[in-house]
A = this chain, B = another copy of it.
Amino acid sequence: MTQADVSFSHLLLGTCDYPEHVPQDRPPVYARMQRELGLSFVRLAEFAWSRLEPLPGTFEWGWLDDAVEAYHAEGLRVVLCTPTPTPPAWLIRAHPEILAFDDQGRVREFGSRRHYDFASPVFREHSRRITRAIAERYGQHPAVAGWQTDNEFGCHATSRSYGGASAARFPEWLREKYGTLDALNAAWGNVFWSMEYTDWAQVRPPILTVTEVNPSHVLDYNRFASDMIREFQAEQVELLRELSPGRFVTHNFMIFESGFDHYDVARGLDFVTWDNYPTGMLELFAPPGIGEDLRTRYARTGHPDLVGFNHDLYRGLLSGGERLGRDGAGTPDGPWVMEQQCGQVNWAPYNPMPADGAVALWTAQAWAHGADVVSYFRWRAATMAQEVMHSGLLRHDETPDRGFAEVAALDQTAFPVGPVPARVALLHDYESLWIYDQQPHAQGLNYWTQTVTYYMALRRLGIDVDVIHADADLSGYAVVVAPAITLVSAGRAARWTDAVNAGAQLVCGPRTAFRTPGGETWSDGQFGPLSELVGARLLQYDSLRPTLRQTVSGAGDLSGTFEASTWAESYRLSGAQALAHYRGGPLDGQAAVIRRGNVTVIGAHSDALIGAVLEGVLGEAGVPVLPVPEGVRVSRRAGQLLVQNWNPEPVEWNGTTLPPVSFVVRPVEAGQPLEGEQDA
C-alpha cells in the first residue's frame, strides 16, 4: 500500500495509541480492532522519547518498529510525532538550562511534560537530533502518512519561559527588531516611568515588577516567545521535509490557546490539526461571558459555538496557504481533529460523562466545519500515571467504552469532503488579543469573550463563518466582522478600506483601532487610521461593574431597547450616523451604534444588540439568515446541511422533532432557501 492508495472522498477516522504503554502483544490486537471499527489513521510516539532513546545516543527502535508493522499490517496509516514535548530525565539533569521558567520566575521542574524552553540552544540541538533520528528511521516507511511536530504547543502555559534561555535571547531579539535603544524606548513609551534602557542587556522578561508592567514590553515579549516556537518548529519541519518526502507535516493546536501567534507558527505546515475536548473546554476554557446556566445546559456536550469557533479558527489558520508536503490523491487536505474527546476527560474541575450521542455529534460537527479526519483520543484508557481517569475508546480492562459504540455506528460516507461555503468572515489577530487582555479595564470582558459573543450571534442566525486573520484577503466575503481587533496599523486600515470599497459590509466591535502596532494609543485617538472609514472618533468609554447596566435605544431599522453590560463606548460623529443611542447614565444621548456607508460600529456589549445589528447588516449584504433556537445549530459543507441539536432535550423546529444530542445531514439545494430561512 502506498500513500495514494487510500481513496478519500469522505471523512476518515483515526485514533491515538500508545504501544509503549502496553505489553508487546497488544498492538496487533488493537490494530485489528481499529480496522474493524473503521479507523484509517493511528497517531504514535509523541511522548516516547525515553523509550526511543533510553540513554544518551542509545536508540531502541524495536518496539516502535513492531508497532508500526502491526498497524501497517491491518492497513492503518501512521502519523508519527517528534517526541520533543517530553525530554527525558537524562537530558534534563545533564542540561538543566533546558528547563523553562514560569511567570513567577521559578524553574519549571521535570516530572510531567513540556518542561523545556523553546529558546534553549541546547534543547534545539537535541530536538534536531531526535527529529533526525526518528525521521531517518521511519520517514519513508509506507505506513507513515505524515508527521505531527511535538504536541500541543503552549499547553500548561508553556508558550513563554520567563527566565533562562528565553531571558538570554530576548535582548538579542529586540536588537534585531529595533536596531537602536532609542527606537526601543520610543516604541515602548519607556519615558513614562523612566523605564528607558541604556543597554540591551538591561531588558528582562516582563515579570515580578512592582506594579503593572509596561504593556508594550509584554506585547513584544509575547511576539518574541511566539517567534521562538516558530523557529523551534521550523527546524523540525525542515528535517522532516528532507527525510520524509511526500508526507504531510502538521501540528495539533489547543483549544483557545493564546500563547503564540498561530498564523505564524502554522506557516510551513501542510494543514492544521487541533485537539477537541468539548466538555473540558466548557468547564476550563470557556470565556468568562459563558455563565453557569450555559455551563450546566451543555455540561455533557460542550457548547456548540465554543467548539464550532475553534473548528473555524483552526480551519482558517492556513486559509490561502500553499500545499507543501502532501502528496497523492488520498492524502487529506485537512484540517483534522487530531485528538477528539470520546468519553470523559480528567483535567477539568468537573469531568461529567458525555451525553449519549455526543461523540457522534462532535464528529459530525467537526466534519461540517471542515475536518477531513477525526482521530479519537485515546485508544485505551491509560492504566498509569497522570491520566488514568481520562477515558478512551476502550476502558482500562480493554472492553469497548460508550464512545466506541457511537463511532462504530457512524456512516463515514454520509460526510463528504468539500468546501465550507462561508460568506461571512470574522477577523482574529493574536496581537490584538495580547494587548486587549493585558489591559482589560473591566473584569468579565476579554478578547475571547468579545470575539465569541459576535461568533455566537452569527451562529444563532444560522450563518457559516470563516475565522481568518485580520490581515487576510477579504475578497469574496459579503460581510466582515471585526469584534475585537483593537490593534490596527495603517496597512490594516487600508486593506479593510479596500474591502469596504469593493462592496463588503464591515462590522466592528468596541475598542477597534484603539491601539497602534506598538501597543500605544493613537495620539489622535480611536479609530486612528480607520477614522475616515468609520466617520467618527471615540467620545467616551465606560467600564460597567457587574451590578451596572447601560440602556441602548435603537432608531429607525434598529428598533428596540437593549441592555449593555461590562462595556459601553460612544462616538463623536464626523460622517457616520447613529443607529442607536445611550439612554441614562453618563453616556445619555450619545451614539452607541454608528454607521457610515458599509461600515457599522457597535459600541456596547450586549448579545441582543449585536444580534440585531448583525441581522440588519446581513440583510443588506444579501446573506440569508436562518434563526435557530437555543442549542440548535446548522452548518453547511460540500452541498450538505448538518442540523444539530445540542440540547439535552428534544426540540421542535421547522416541523421536525430533533431528538436530544442528535444531528441530521441532508442536501442543501443550491439557491433554494431552507425552510425558515429569511430572505435578505
Q: Please give the residue numbers on chain A whose beta carbons come within 8 Å of chain B beta carbons, in ascending order.
A: 20-21, 47-51, 54-55, 83, 85-90, 92-93, 100, 104-115, 155-156, 158, 188-199, 201-202, 204, 206-217, 283, 292, 295-296, 299-300, 344, 346-347, 349-356, 381-389, 395-397, 399, 402, 439, 441-443, 520-526, 537-538, 540-548, 585-587
Contacts and interface: CB of A to CB of B under 8 A. Distances in A.
A214 B100 CA distance: 19
Contacts of A349: 442-443, 545
A382 B296 CA distance: 43
Contacts of A92: 202
Contacts of A197: 89
Given A199-B90, A295-B545, A191 B21 contact: yes
Given A89-B196, A192-B384, A283-B545, A208 B389 contact: no
Contact of A296 (B196, B389, B543, B547): B547
B108 A385 contact: no
Given A210-B158, A214-B385, A350 B544 contact: yes
A582 B525 CA distance: 61
Contacts of A352: 542-545, 548
Contacts of A387: 192
A397 B545 contact: no
A656 B423 CA distance: 61
Contact of A214 (B47, B88, B111, B115): B111
6 contacts: A112-B211, A112-B212, A155-B211, A292-B547, A300-B586, A397-B524
Number of copies of this protein chain within its complex? 3
Contacts of A89: 195-199, 202
Contacts of A347: 212
Contact of A194 (B49, B156, B189, B540): B49
Nearest to A189: B384
A397 B537 contact: yes
A89 B54 CA distance: 46
A640 to B, nearest CB: 28
Given A295-B547, A350-B545, A402 B540 contact: yes
A520 B300 CA distance: 27
Majority DSSP secondary structure for residues of A touching B: loop
Given A385-B188, A521-B388, A109 B193 contact: no
Given A210-B112, A210-B113, A521-B388, A50 B202 contact: no
Nearest to A442: B350
A333 to B, nearest CB: 31
A669 B86 CA distance: 68
Contact of A213 (B112, B114, B198, B300): B112
A192 B382 contact: yes
Contact of A112 (B49, B193, B399): B193
A278 to B, nearest CB: 14
A207 B109 contact: yes
A321 to B, nearest CB: 31
Contacts of A156: 210-211
B113 A193 contact: yes
A32 to B, nearest CB: 20
B208 A106 contact: yes
A87 B397 CA distance: 52
B199 A93 contact: yes
Nearest to A347: B212
A216 B383 CA distance: 12
Nearest to A104: B106
| Closest 5 A/B residue pairs (Cβ) | A189-B384, A192-B385, A397-B525, A50-B194, A86-B194
